[in-house]
Structure 1
Amino acid sequence: MSAHVFSDPPMSVMARRLGHAGSAAFVLGAMLVWIVNDQAHPYVTLALSAYAAMVVSFLGGIHWGLGFQHHDPPASLFVWGVLASLFAWVAVMMPANAGLVLDGVLLVLCYLVDRKVYPAQGLARWLTLRFRLSAVAALSCFLGAAGT
């Protein structure tokens, strides 16, 4: 009798690389908030906030994709996807000092929601990467807000 060991499929190398590249954009944006001149400052803070909002919307959209895989999906997958995008939109419309804080909070909240949803959907293997990317992104937003 041989023992069968089941393991999760390996994580996509491309997804990991693209995730890290996306984190680099957050870090660059937060750095620029602190070093650009007063004329460029509003554009840099808006760029960071808009990028964060797009990422939050993307993370919410993942829940729609998960819902599409089920015959009778839980409504919470779709509701969360819409709420994440709506809150991110509000963050972009706010002054940068407050909007970037909301962006950072939303990124943390997205991770906390995913900690509950991903294991139930068989995606727990993505949580370590999600934690790292979310931590860098949220910290970048908070540092960007502090620089406004």
Structure 2
Amino acid sequence: MSGAANRAAAPQGPNPVALKLGYAGLLPFVLGAALVWLVHRQVVPHVAGPLAVYAGMVLASLGGVHWGLGMRQAVPSPALYAWGVVPALVGWVAVVMPPHAGLVVLGVMLVACYAVDRRVYPRHGAASWLVLRFRQTAVGSLSCFLAAAGT
């Protein structure tokens, strides 16, 4: 199947189920950031740590999207695969850092992933996903920054 046929057969954007699941995926970010500010100081590491791990897992999946885009191509760009591992590696480093620093790195990396996706998605027929991606990035990164400030 040609590249044009692949794009024509591809969904035009997130279907309602994907949208609901995409927004539901923000709950751990929002809840984690809120709990950092609401729980007793002794409990904060037990809230900030899991929030950082979740953000790291999200980063890994964002990189995986680029592998998926590359796998759809007859002659894939090595840049898709190379970038695809960067978010997971940065997330891994950030998760083992103290939460006050690691959450900042995770928030910055979420923004960086969106910046890359804004360039890559349109070239692969996925531009219509950028509205959801922007909203997820805004809430996820802001949650990481607010949680970092509260640790």
Aligned to 1:125: 128
For the pair 1:37 / 2:36, whether they are aligned, the reply is: no
Once residues 127 and 33 of structure 1 are traced to their aligned partners in structure 2, the CA distance between those partners, rounded to angstroms, is: 29
More helix by share: 2
Aligned to 1:3: none
**What is the aligned residue count?**
142
1:56 to 50, 54, 59: 59
Once residues 80 and 43 of structure 1 are traced to their aligned partners in structure 2, the CA distance between those partners, rounded to angstroms, is: 31
* Letter in structure 2 aligned against 1:71: A
Cα deviations across residues 44-77 of structure 1 (Å, max 9, x unaligned)? 1101100000001100000001111112100111
Q: TM-score, normalization: structure 1?
A: 0.92
Once residues 9 and 120 of structure 1 are traced to their aligned partners in structure 2, the CA distance between those partners, rounded to angstroms, is: 14
CA distance 1:10–1:86, change in 2 (3 Å): closer
* Letter in structure 2 aligned against 1:14: V
Cα deviations across residues 17-62 of structure 1 (Å, max 9, x unaligned)? 0111111221000001111113321111101100000001100000
CA contact (8 A) 2:13 2:126 kept: no
Aligned to 2:31: 28
CA distance 1:97–1:58, change in 2 (3 Å): same
Once residues 31 and 11 of structure 1 are traced to their aligned partners in structure 2, the CA distance between those partners, rounded to angstroms, is: 28
Tell me how far 1:10 sits from its aligned partner. Answer: 4.8
Aligned to 1:100: 103
Secondary structure, in 3 states, of the residue corresponding to 1:72? Answer: coil
Structure 2 segments unaligned to the other structure (5+ residues): 1-7
Once residues 108 and 76 of structure 2 are traced to their aligned partners in structure 1, the CA distance between those partners, rounded to angstroms, is: 27
* Letter in structure 1 aligned against 2:80: L
Once residues 110 and 14 of structure 2 are traced to their aligned partners in structure 1, the CA distance between those partners, rounded to angstroms, is: 22
Identity %: 54
For the pair 1:114 / 2:117, whether they are aligned, the reply is: yes
